[in-house]
């Protein structure tokens, strides 16, 4: 087996439990990996501001992948943007109109600012859990959508979100990346903004081969991320579609699935 040089981790449901905290087991494992010189990369649908805070909390020192792969940025040096793939403003406008016609609540992000047209318990719930701020802008019909990172549709009706993803992924085939990141979230971004593309970008930058990458995730938006890795790990709480492509299914996030996987595939090589 090749020595793992890069560990790519989703956040929510992978290293963060439902209460948005990491266990002591996860924290100590990541600390040891960093000490061993392994590049530990957070790879998430979250915005940069939220991801930066988590990376700092965990003591990481590698760029973070945000917006499903739409942004790769250094957080620990000059905050340089290494890779950025935003939505086409014209297509973004079409998506917004589709969601408004269906009366589906949505957030949108421009230059890493979270915006909504109107307040709702859905956005309040979203930002409270992630400790981020948001801006109420009223109608966005006349807004300049240049620099739009992604659009996120939210609804408590998980079947509605499932159907929305199926319908609009077909409508915007070859124009947008449309994926569910949780049963309640449907995300829209550039076709190039996938976790897999961002992982490959960093691996090429560092001269790391696919077989030297391990990735862990739990949702359908992690499929592309796992496919970019030589060792594909699905959490015990992962979706069935993610488990189907995984090389290994580890414990759940509540039972320290990431430390267990690290122990199995990395631990012996590095004496962890």
DSSP 19-86: TS---HHHHHHHHHHHHTT-EEEEB-SS-HHHHHHHHHHTT--S-EEEGGGTEEE-SSSS--EEEE-P
Confidence band for 2, pLDDT divided at 50, 70 and 90: confident
Q: Flag whether 219 is in a domain.
A: yes
pTM of the model: 0.92
Amino acid 269: pLDDT: 65
120 and 249 share one domain: no
Single out the residue in 141, 173, 189 at which a domain terminates. Answer: 189
- The CA distance from 92 to 145, in Å, is 7
| 8 A C-beta contact, residue 40 and residue 27 | no
Average pLDDT over residues 159-165: 97
Single out the residue in 189, 219, 251 at which a domain terminates. Answer: 189
165 and 197 share one domain: no
CATH code at position 113: 3.30.1240.10
pLDDT digits (tens, 9 = 90+) for 192-241: 999 999 999 999 999 999 999 999 999 999 999 999 999 999 999 999 99
131 and 145 share one domain: yes
Give the number of domains in the chain: 2
Q: How distant, in Å, are the alpha carbons of 136, 236, 248, 257 from that of 251? A: 40, 5, 10, 4
Amino acid 184: pLDDT: 93
CATH code at position 50: 3.40.50.1000
Average pLDDT over residues 65-82: 93
Q: Flag whether 1 is in a domain.
A: no
Task: Choose the weakest-confidence range: 96-105, 125-134, 253-262.
Answer: 125-134
The count of C-alpha atoms lying within 13 angstroms of the C-alpha of 179, restricted to the half-sphere facing its C-beta, is 24
Average pLDDT over residues 145-170: 96
Nearest Cα residue to 161 out of 169, 153, 173:
153
- Report which of residues 125 and 254 the model is more confident about: 254
Average pLDDT over residues 243-264: 97
Single out the residue in 189, 221, 247 at which a domain terminates. Answer: 189
* Domain residue limits at 163: 89-189
Residue 30 has pLDDT above 70, yes or no: yes
Amino acid 1: pLDDT: 59
- The CA distance from 69 to 48, in Å, is 11
Average pLDDT over residues 107-129: 89
| 8 A C-beta contact, residue 73 and residue 80 | yes
Confidence band for 271, pLDDT divided at 50, 70 and 90: low
Instruction: Tell me the average pLDDT of the chain.
Output: 94
Amino acid 92: pLDDT: 97
């Amino acid at each position: 087996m090749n020595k793992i040089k890069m560990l790519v981790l989703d956040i929510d449901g992978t290293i963060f439990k439902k209460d948005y905290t990491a266990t002591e087991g996860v924290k100590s494992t990541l600390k040891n990996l960093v000490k061993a010189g392994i590049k530990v990369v957070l790879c998430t649908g979250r915005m940069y501001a939220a991801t930066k805070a988590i990376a700092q909390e965990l003591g990481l020192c590698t760029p973070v992948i945000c917006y499903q792969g739409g942004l790769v940025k250094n957080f620990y040096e000059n905050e340089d943007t290494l890779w950025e793939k935003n939505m086409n403003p014209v297509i973004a406008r079409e998506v917004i109109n589709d969601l408004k016609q269906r009366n589906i609540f949505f957030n949108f992000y421009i230059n890493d600012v979270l915006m909504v047209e109107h307040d709702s318990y859905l956005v309040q719930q979203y930002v409270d859990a992630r400790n981020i701020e948001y801006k109420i802008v009223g109608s966005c019909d006349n807004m300049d959508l240049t620099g739009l990172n992604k659009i996120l549709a939210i609804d408590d009706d998980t079947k509605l979100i499932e159907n929305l993803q199926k319908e609009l992924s077909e409508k915007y085939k070859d124009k947008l990346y449309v994926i569910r990141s949780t049963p309640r979230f449907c995300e829209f971004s550039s076709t190039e903004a996938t976790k897999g593309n961002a992982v490959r970008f960093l691996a090429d930058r560092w001269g790391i081969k696919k077989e030297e990458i391990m990735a862990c995730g739990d949702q359908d938006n992690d499929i592309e991320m796992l496919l970019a890795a030589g060792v594909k790990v699905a959490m015990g709480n992962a979706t069935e579609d993610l488990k189907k492509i995984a090389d290994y299914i580890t414990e759940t996030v509540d039972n320290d699935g990431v430390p267990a996987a690290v122990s199995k595939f990395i631990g012996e090589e590095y004496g962890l």
